[in-house]
Amino acid sequence: MSNDNLITLLKEARVRIDEVIAQLKPDASRRQSRTAAPKTRRQAITSSSAISFDKSALAFMKDYSRAAKGPQKFALLVAWSVKGNTKTEISYQSIKAQWNKMKTVLGSEFNPANCNRAKAAGWVDTPKHGVYVLCDSWTECLERK
Q: How far apart are the first and last CA of the chain?
A: 61
Q: What is the mean pLDDT of residues 59-82?
A: 90
- Is residue 133 classed as helix, strand or coil in its secondary structure? strand
CB 74 within 8 A of CB 118: yes
In this prediction, residue 7 has a pLDDT band, given cuts at 50, 70 and 90, of confident
- Residue 123: predicted pLDDT: 94
pLDDT in tens, 108-141: 889 999 999 999 999 999 999 989 999 998 988 8
pLDDT at 83 over 70: yes
In this prediction, residue 30 has a pLDDT band, given cuts at 50, 70 and 90, of low
- The DSSP annotation for 33-101 comes to HHHHHHHHHHHT--SGGGS---S-HHHHHHHH-TT--HHHHHHHHHHHHTTT-TT--EEHHHHHHHHHH
